[in-house]
Amino acid sequence: MQWTERWTERRSRWLEVIGFVVAFLAVHALLWYLTTISANLPLGDVTITYKRWIETGRTDRFWVGIDADWVYPILAIVPMAAAAIGGVGSIGTGWLLLMIVLDAVACGFLWRFRGLGVRVVWWWLAFLLALGPIGLGRIDTVATVLALVGVAFVATRPAVASALFTAGAWTKVWPAALVGVLLLLRRGHRRGVFAGALVVTALIVLVDVLYGGAAHLFSFVGQQTGRALQIEAPVATPFMWAAAAGVPGAAVYYNQQILTFEVSGAGTHAAAAVSMPLMAVVVVAGVLLALWAVRRGAHRTEAAPLLALLFVAALVATNKVGSPQYIGWFAVPIVWGLVAGRPSARRFLPIAVAALPMALLTQVIYPGFYDQVLTVQPWVLVVLTIRNALEVGVLVWSVVALVRLGVGPGARSRAAAHAGSAGTAGSAGTAGTGAESAVPAPPARGRMEP
């Protein structure tokens, strides 16, 4: 009887694996196909811009990021060069193959994690399908995969998670926010988190310096400062409607210097100037909220993915750059929240569901009907407005969720326990030991430590 049960269980596992492999290949085959048929060139950055950078490096020995300032951190050149191993002319095919391999690696690391009884890789696969070919067609895919694999190590190997997040940050900056979450909320392992980030950074800097790129190592930091409003950004939405209404001065134009479409009009420069300070204010407010919630007794396990989501939502919703691939960043904190224990998974379920239409609307905007976005057709501006409202909605939700975490019954009871223990320790003359050591740690079953 036991043998029969084991065989049935094993067969069920293999059927699930086979089913996922088939679904994974089908989704990525469809995404590959969509990159070839769209007139809006979802792989254009790879086959035009990345190709030019690698071709110049190979033929003229002039590498962006080493011999000149660059818009990306220096590690981003590695996957671009790797995609051109078979020849610069076939960089598009090489890039898609590389992205599929990286997605498969991420699925392998995340396979064992479940959220509310369901493997989280199924959600991520559905998210990629909704997001469309842009989910494969930019350097952001590499940073996202590194960050997703990092999430798999958050509980058991925080130093490894930090190292992977840092490698992602040296590819596309934004995963640096995840390192910040670990430093703020990974109690007792900050040295390991710091060491993981430091080792990776030191290795990258050392190699870059040896290749003579020290003068341009941090050039990516200042590359965004002079940009105007990109047309898909939430803060640009009112000005896009003004352009559609024929308001004088409001129009979509192509910025030849940075190769992107921006919107002009009265107030656009002020909105662009305000976006970065606004982002900083939201991020600082999020940090204070998370620390407050933890001090009130909230589990760091649950606060960490919420703070990560707030960071990512702030980076997207308040950004003057609204590139469609930014939506892919949301996958990382959502997966983190889904695997951080049942209470966290229940909390993140609405956001995991809402992220799917947000991704699908992004695919409608780009590459689907991007030509009509450029001509400010009202129907597609409605789609763009709804998508942008969802981005802002995720940001608001993350703030509200952190507040609720800090004022919830569990947080209040733990805060009271901390206060009571502190009072007892103080009256006994042992305040120097710290109240936290006097309070039993909550059971860890069913949770992942951040």
Amino acid at 10: R
Task: Report pLDDT digits (tens) over 225-268.
Answer: 667 899 999 999 999 999 999 999 999 999 887 778 999 999 99
Q: Which residues pair with 119 in a beta bridge?
A: 114
- d(CA 384, CA 114) in angstroms, rounded, equals 33
Q: Where are the beta strands (DSSP E) in 359-425?
A: none
Q: In angstroms, how far is the first alpha carbon of the chain from the final one? A: 41
11 Cβ contact partners less than 8 Å away, ≥ 6 residues apart: none
pTM: 0.90
The residue length of the chain stands at 450
435 three-state secondary structure: coil
Percentage of the chain beyond pLDDT 70 is 89
Banded model confidence at residue 411, pLDDT cuts 50, 70, 90: low
Q: What is the mean pLDDT of residues 38-64?
A: 94
140, 328 in Cβ contact below 8 A? Answer: yes
Instruction: Check residue 96 and give its pLDDT.
Output: 98
Amino acid at 419: A
148, 53 in Cβ contact below 8 A? Answer: no
Instruction: Check residue 429 and give its pLDDT.
Output: 34
